[in-house]
Amino acid sequence: MKYTEEHEWLLPEDDLIVVGITAYAAEQLGDVVFVELPEVGTEVTKDEEIVVIESVKAASDILAPLDGEIVEVNEALADNPGLVNEDPTGDAWFFKMRPSDLSPMDDYMDEAAYKDFIG
């Protein structure tokens, strides 16, 4: 698993990348009340805003970590956005994407580096 400075986690799964937010990010947001996910089939560009999260404290965006195509979204979040607070690094993944290039993954932090980052 890799981590971004925007508190996203990226999990390689075959030729896909699963994307969610870290427990730290979920804690900072507070109770999540709404999640707007991208459409399956959407082509995204790295750093493009593609998910909107609204909580009782604030609204936040998730940025595309890589260039590629959204191939699956977590429909469970539409019915239960609070899942982000309950299981941010498990059942509350946001989307799966097929990246056009995996090499930028090398630029992201591993778990130890992320823990130092949020330190």
Residue range 22-33, pLDDT digits in tens: 999 999 999 999
Mean pLDDT of all residues belonging to the chain: 96
Query: Is the pLDDT score of 36 beyond 90?
Result: yes
Mean pLDDT, range 88-113, rounded to an integer? 96
Query: Is the pLDDT score of 77 beyond 90?
Result: yes
Domains recognised in the chain with CATH numbers: 2-101 (2.40.50.100)
Task: Return d(Cα 32, Cα 96) in angstroms, integer.
Answer: 20
Tell me, what's the pLDDT at 20?
Answer: 97
Residue (of 46, 38, 32) closest to 73 by Cα position? 38
Phi, psi angle pair for 72, to nearest 5°: -160, 145
Tell me, what's the pLDDT at 58?
Answer: 87
Mean pLDDT, range 61-71, rounded to an integer? 96
pTM of the complete model:
0.94
